[in-house]
Amino acid sequence: MPADARQVALVTGASRGIGAEIAYRLAARGIRIAAHFNSNRAAVDSVLARLPGSGHGTFAANLADTEATTRLWREVEAACSGVDILVNNAGIYLNHPPLMTSASDWLAAWQQTLATNLQGPAHLSLLATQAMAARAERHGPTFGRGRIVNISSRGAFRGEPDAPAYAASKAGLNALSQSLARALAAERIYVYCLAPGWVETDMAAAQLAGPEGAGIRAQHPLGRVTRPDELANAVVYCALDAPAAMTGGIIDVNGASYLRT
């Protein structure tokens, strides 16, 4: 049996879209999948049914709730005997343009967005790194320690005028990724971050098919937005194949729709 067939990946937000595609493509490489979902059990069960291989499972949690996130980690660890790869994919996008939002709605949007998009991944990353380091100590220096892959956004760099909390949460995720990469390099725990733009998922379908669609596609020199498989393949590369020297890297996967200098 290939060595990576024994590896386990916890993929958050795996019930649809990007997370479902990431889970599928990791499973196709022989990885056991712990597929996280928030509330849509029917959707995640459908994802589970199409994953290649065996030994996969589903796990529910609201990542904005610290206690629920802790329970999620413990359940996955108990069911899978450890986690080798953490993919922090789950996130929310709430519209709250500053000139059109009341103070109470503004604060609520910030609290909910930061709790889900930044606090949740930060908490899972802490639990993952401590568990990965502890397993390595038990198994010896040749034991593979683990990887964390975070899904950020081009919005972290260019801003999101209608959803500033989303942009801020993703900028925070970038900083978290780089901070962890520096802190954990000596432990051989590697951290990568991907920053997509628009991705062709069911969540984006209405906007891409509506009046905004032509303008969105016009942002992209490719003439189209990113496909889920393109982003998922980049995640798989970081999770399994990227060299250690890339730890801390933030990789743009936005079809040149936003270029950083």
Condensed to tens digits (0 to 9), the pLDDT of residues 74-125 reads 999 999 999 999 999 999 999 999 999 999 999 999 999 999 999 999 999 9
Quick check: is 110 in a domain?
A: yes
- If you count them, how many residues does the chain have? 261
pLDDT for 138: 76
User: The domain containing residue 44 runs over which residues?
Assistant: 3-195+229-242
Our CA dihedral for 218, 221, 226, 227, rounded to 10 degrees, sits at 100
Q: Is the pLDDT of residue 25 over 60?
A: yes
pTM of the model: 0.94
Question: Which residues are the active-site residues?
Answer: 166
176-199 residue pLDDT tens = 999 999 999 999 999 999 999 999
Q: Which residues contact 240 (CB under 8 A, 6 or more apart)?
A: 4, 26, 29, 31, 85, 147
Structure tokens at 102: 């009341």
Quick check: is 55 in a domain?
A: yes
151: left (phi over 0), alpha (psi -120 to 50) or beta: beta
142 band by pLDDT with thresholds 50, 70 and 90: low
210 band by pLDDT with thresholds 50, 70 and 90: very high
Indicate the residue type of 150. Answer: N
Quick check: is 166 in a domain?
A: yes
Beta pairing, strands 146-151 & 32-37: unpaired
Quick check: is 259 in a domain?
A: no
Quick check: is 13 in a domain?
A: yes
Give CA–CA dist 91/241, Å, rounded: 25
Range 28-50 average pLDDT: 97
Backbone angles phi and psi of 58, in degrees to 5:
-120, 145
CATH number of the domain within which 69 lies: 3.40.50.720
Range 27-42 average pLDDT: 97
Q: Are 194 and 253 in contact (CB under 8 A)?
A: yes
Quick check: is 149 in a domain?
A: yes
Q: Is the pLDDT of residue 246 over 90?
A: yes
Q: Is the pLDDT of residue 3 over 50?
A: no
Q: Are 155 and 170 in contact (CB under 8 A)?
A: yes
Give the chain's domain count: 1
pLDDT for 205: 87
Burial class (CB in 10 A: 0-12, 13-18, 19+), 227: middle
Quick check: is 98 in a domain?
A: yes
Quick check: is 209 in a domain?
A: no
pLDDT for 141: 57
